[in-house]
Structure 1
Amino acid sequence: VNERPTALLGQRAEAGPVLGGWRPSTVPPAFASQDITHLLQYARHQVHVVREESTGQLGLAMGGELVGAGESDVSLVGTLPPIYPEWLGDREFCEAHGLRFPYVTGAMANGIATPELVVAVAEAGMLGFFGAGGLSYAGVERGLAEIQTRLAGRTGLAWGANLIHSPNEAALEARVAELFIEKGVRIVEASAFMKLTPAVVHYALSGLTTDPSGAIVRKNKVMAKVSRPEVARLFMQPAPDALVSALVAAGKLTAREAELARHVPVAEDITVEADSGGHTDNRPLPALFSEIVMLRDQLAQQHRHDFRVRVGAAGGLGTPQSIAGAFAMGAAYVLTGSVNQSCVESGLSPQARAMLAKAGVADVMMAPASDMFEMGVNLQVLKRGSMFGPRAKKLYEWYSRYPSVTAVVHEHGAELEKFFGKSVDDVWSETRQYWADRDAGVLELATRDPKYQMGLMFRWYLGKSSRWAIDGDADRVLDYQIWCGPSMGAFNSWVAGSYLQQCENRNVVQVALNLLEGATQISRAQQARKCGIPVPATAFGYIPRPLSL
């Protein structure tokens, strides 16, 4: 019988039946607020929900024994099972990637998610992505080589790298995808995509095969970070036939891989990116996550392939409360970004990390993105202590209004060179040298199109501003571009007064373990509250402390 129980919305909650009497062994039951809070800290142990028959008050207890009804003035109402940080998310996600914890650190571009950070996260049984976006091809090669050297001979440790959508450098995007295939990078975080490109589809489908039972086996896995349902849809379905056929014609995929491609989604893991640092649409996580989960379920009914798409959460996650909330919504995993930039393993300079450690939740703003400047795409950056945001917005305003950099110089030359910190001619000389080494075709277009040349020069400032923050250039502190979301401010408030307040104590694994441990404690408190226990508000707080694996 598939009938569902009728929901009695008007019926008041009442005390349920008891399982019998309960008799304590050594620890008495907890009915006082401070005692309930104390027992809730033992999330890894069974905790009993008990009722004092003389008063009807509900409380918690540990240990003890079940006795017959009437043999004790305390009755057993139920038992709460243990909760572990490892169990907060989807265990299938952890099994698929060989992880202990459903916790991912995002690929902060320009190498800010360093090989050191990725290795530390992998050693802790989590998944970290190397920040390959924004690096040169040689820089990506060096980063991969360092990670693989440090993890050589050690099995069971998962890690990945970032494949960022690069509409202005499609050839580089394709080369990096091919490098990942060649070097055996088994999972990538695909970010900033607005459409599927040959590069990401090539990586996702390369190596598709079947096992002896006929089940499809994926060699490469894609975790797509998205902030729009229409983009999520592209990754949660099989790749378009036309795109796959073009890759076959180019010799990048085999006919067998193309055939199997019809039965797998491009990505098996979708990270819902809410109000994050860097590229973001500033969407609230509850609304966006729900929308994409519903879309996932609709597409699953349409395609019915063997691979279940898992949905994780990112953006705004910087406290145990936010982590617990994401898992409570059904997130298979959580991904953090902004908070990791202030950690000692981050590629940011000590000066930039110190600026992040002072940020509040409102100390962020949107500013033009270097990689998609001409398209008007913005990203979220730190506002406190830096003039980068207002200056970058002014550059885009000039780009939109004027046909060439010469026209800008005519009316705003002094202000422009103040932003640049050097002459316009010097900036063009550096820009020309950069593209001569990277893609000479860009320079050819710039000689024919003055507005395109202007865009390249303005992107010089946007690109350099990130490097100044990474290198710790003391002369350009006011121009530091530091990607940052509101979660950084919330994190700083949470750790205030604790050992994690100081940047030098912010180890990426300690941050992760404390976020997960705090989320576990909060989940336990909520579990008890749903059983009718009068849980004090203080039980939903967690103070960071040194933790060990």
Structure 2
Amino acid sequence: MTTTSAGPRPSAGNPSAAWASPREPQAVAQLLARLNWPLSVNAHEPDSAPQDYRIEPWHGSAKGHLLGIIPALHPDQLGSAAFRQYHGVRYAYMSGAMAAGIGSESIVEEMAQSGMLGIFGAAGLSPERVEQALTRLEQNCGGKPWGANLIHSPSEPRLEAAVTDLYLRRNVRLVEASAFLDLTPNIIRYRLSGVHQRGHEIVVPNRVVAKVSRVEVATKFMSPAPPKLVAHMVSTGVLTEEQGRLAAYIPVAQDVTAEADSGGHTDNRPLVSLLPSLIALRDRLQDEFKFAEPVRVGAAGGIATPQSTAAAYLMGAAYVMVGSVHQACVESGTSDVVRKLLAEAQQADCIMAPAADMFEMGVKLQVLRRGTMFAMRATKLHELYRTYASVDDIPVAERQQIEKTMFQTTLDHVWQQTVEFFTRRDPRQLERAEKEPKHKMALIFRWYLGQSSRWANQGLPERRLDYQIWCGPSMGAFNEWTKGTFLAEPPARKVSTVALNLLYGAAYVQRANALQWTGFPVHPDWQRVIPQERQTLLDLIN
């Protein structure tokens, strides 16, 4: 989408005046850029040489021999119309729930105002902080759709329950369920609360978008809630008899996101393998359960360029979800220094490291390696946890080293802070630590893992080597695409501008591919997609 052309130019007011030949690639690019113009590829004779083909707006009849038609394709046509209608958005595009408020209120508000769906990153925050965010979003989103994250917290089940209670009390109608290894009563309680029958219709007030990377977990979310669990929840009064009866007719999640090689929690699965597998799984389960509304499958992980966005839609994604790239935007809840590090990242600059929320289980997440030593240090702590039964068993020299380099204080002082924290948050953790020295060690080590993400979000200069920055290879791909353009600089990376560029670019790429399928000679000038300013995109789109 270049700005100059030696050949005929498309006119915004008179598309009939525009045409181009393979010898005028920039003019071809400008024709493709007008997404609302259907185009035709024609030849004077059936045996004309490809260099003599011409592309022009389609008016229902061809001048010469018709080789193919390139339909108009607006960004709001990408993905599933059912997804857009169900969530009340213009575009089948989501901003994922980046933990610790990195998926900030500002991102969610900007998504809502732009006709997209934003999820507040509630994971790792206290219920009080989450409630503050809910209040702000209710006030600022003006009735437009938005959601909040419900993360599985096996180490802190009371926290997961408290956040679920909060969402139900505040009538939050959409949650993104993430990091679940199995279904818990909390996600079932949220999904089924308020379910009732109206005539022949089952009304389900609460919507769930589940983010998964494994077929076995996807199966649980694409199926009805487990009957035994539902029966128990009915018998204990958590659910009503009607809710228990209707549970068999609705999936736990109406939308399931295939989370591929993403930042944070990930199994590093390639999207080209995971997405088709989950779509096929959905089809099998739909045949089995015959839901009134089939589950939709979206794509996340690696969505960072027009080509990857287009590929996801072409593979059948009902929607795309973007995370890592949005973290580098000015509205994210991280620091300027982190945004700068992300803007310099390359695809190979990511590494797996122990996760704070599932430390004892050995679960890892994907983080930025370049410019920080967090991954190496967190791995060291997990090795110590596996090797020793308690903090007291760690050799003196080893203990002094981690106190000096990682904690920058004594482990005894860290334990004091940990006691203060869990006295407020979950006293049962302290009771368990008194009985199990290894659990006490885990809580101390989790202090470092938990603080490291906060140091990054706050941009503390004295803790720069300890920054935990969730990031996937998509960040490097985005940087490569935007290199040399206005989006290369962090201050220009506004989330709506980035999102519109990906959506517009995806539509452009699909039209360029359709042109190539007609046999029209390929040229880099009309295959290339260059980032554009937001207003320029709006002019082209609208």
Show structure 2 runs of 5+ residues with no match.
Answer: 1-14
Residue type of the partner of 2:202?
A: I
- Structure 1 ranges of 4+ moved more than 6 A: none
Return the alpha-carbon distance in structure 1 between the equivalents of residues 371 and 352 of structure 2: 15
Q: 1:65 to 1:486 in 2, by over 3 A?
A: closer
SS of the aligned residue for 1:375 comes to: coil
1:411 shift after superposition:
4.3
Deviation at 1:64, TM superposition (A): 6.2
Equivalent in 471, 477, 481 of residue 494 of structure 1 = 481
Q: Is the Cα contact below 8 Å between 2:67 and 2:518 reproduced in 1?
A: no
Q: Give the one of 5, 11, 26 matched to 2:17.
A: 26
- 2:66 corresponds in structure 1 to 76
Give the CA deviation at 1:33: 5.0
Structure 1 equivalent of residue 500 of structure 2: 513
Cα distance in 1 between the residues matched to 2:120 and 2:522 = 41
Higher relative contact order (CA 8 A, sep 6+): 2
The letter of the residue matching 1:479 is: D
Matches of 1:515 and 1:502, distance apart in 2: 17
CA–CA separation in structure 1 for the residues paired with 2:452 and 2:439: 20
Cα gap change, 1:444/1:513 in structure 2, threshold over 3 Å: closer, same or farther?
Answer: same
Q: What is the deviation of 1:56?
A: 4.5
Q: TM-score, normalised by structure 2?
A: 0.93
Equivalent residue number for residue 256 of structure 1:
242
Q: Is contact 2:74–2:507 with CA below 8 Å preserved after alignment?
A: yes
| Other-structure match for 2:121 | 131
- Contact (CA 8 Å) 1:368, 1:377: kept in 2 or not? yes
TM-score (norm: length of structure 1): 0.92
Count of aligned residue pairs for this structure pair: 517
The answer on 1:433 being equivalent to 2:420 is yes
Look up the match of 1:36. 28
What displacement does 1:416 show? 1.1
What is the match of residue 178 of structure 1?
165
Give % identity: 47
Task: Indicate whether 1:267 and 2:262 are aligned.
Answer: no
Determine the structure 1 residue equivalent to 2:57. 62
Note if contact 1:118-1:130 (Cα within 8 Å) is conserved in structure 2.
yes
In the TM superposition, what is the alpha-carbon distance from 1:30 to its structure 2 partner? Answer: 2.4
1:262 alignment partner, SS class = helix
Q: What secondary structure sits across from 2:41 in the alignment?
A: strand
1:81/1:434 Cα in 2 relative to 1: closer, same or farther (>3 Å)?
same
Residue 540 of structure 1 pairs with residue 527 of structure 2: yes
Matched residue type, 1:491: F
Do 1:265 and 1:307's aligned partners in 2 also have CA atoms closer than 8 Å?
Answer: no
RMSD: 1.5
The DSSP-based 3-state class of the residue aligned with 2:149 is strand
User: What letter corresponds to residue 304 of structure 2 in structure 1?
Assistant: G
Q: Which runs of 5+ in 1 are unaligned?
A: 1-23
Q: Aligned-pair distance for 1:75?
A: 2.5
Deviates more, 1:58-67 or 1:453-462: 58-67
Per-residue CA deviations over 1:125-168 (Å, capped at 9, x if unaligned) read: 000000011111111111111111223xx33x110000000001
Please give the alpha-carbon distance, in whole angstroms, between the structure 2 residues aligned to 1:444 and 1:64. Answer: 76
* Secondary structure of 1:61's aligned partner: strand
| Paired residue type of 2:157 | A
Asked if residue 326 in structure 1 is aligned to residue 296 in structure 2, the reply is: no
Question: Residues 430 and 46 of structure 1: is their aligned pair in 2 closer, same or farther, counting only changes over 3 Å?
Answer: same
Name the structure 2 match of 1:7.
Answer: none
Cα distance in 2, alignment partners of residues 363 and 340 from structure 1: 17
Q: Secondary structure at the match of 1:374?
A: coil
Q: Which residue does 1:142 correspond to in 2?
A: 132
> CA shift at 1:545, angstroms?
1.3
Counterpart among 462, 471, 494 of residue 484 in structure 1: 471
* 1:419 to partner: Cα distance: 0.9
Contact 2:58 2:69 survives alignment (8 Å): no
Deviations 1:249-291 (A, max 9, x none): 2322111011110101101100000000000000000101111
Query: C-alpha offsets along residues 24-46 of structure 1, whole Å, 9 cap, x if unaligned?
Result: 95334523251433322222211
